[in-house]
Amino acid sequence: MANKYNVRMREAAYRHNEAAKALPADRKDVAGYLFGLAAECAMKQLMIDLGVPGAKGPRRADNPYFVHFGELKTLLRDDEHARRHRDMRKFTQDASFMQDWDIAMRYSDGKAVTTAMVERWRQNAKDILQEL
Do the domain assignments include residue 40?
yes
Name residues whose C-beta falls within 8 Å of residue 65's C-beta, 6 or more positions apart in sequence. 44, 47, 54, 55, 57
Do the domain assignments include residue 1?
no
Tell whether the model's pLDDT for residue 125 goes beyond 80: yes
The predicted model gives 68-72 an average pLDDT of: 92
Look at residues 40, 37, 29 and name the one whose alpha carbon lies nearest to residue 115. 29
Taking residue 20's Cβ as centre, other Cβ atoms within 10 Å add up to 23
Do the domain assignments include residue 74?
yes
Tell whether the model's pLDDT for residue 91 goes beyond 80: yes
Helices (H), the chain: 9-22, 28-50, 71-78, 80-83, 86-92, 115-129
Q: How many domains, the chain?
A: 1
Per the structure, the complete domain to which residue 84 belongs is given by 9-129
Q: What is the pLDDT of residue 2?
A: 57
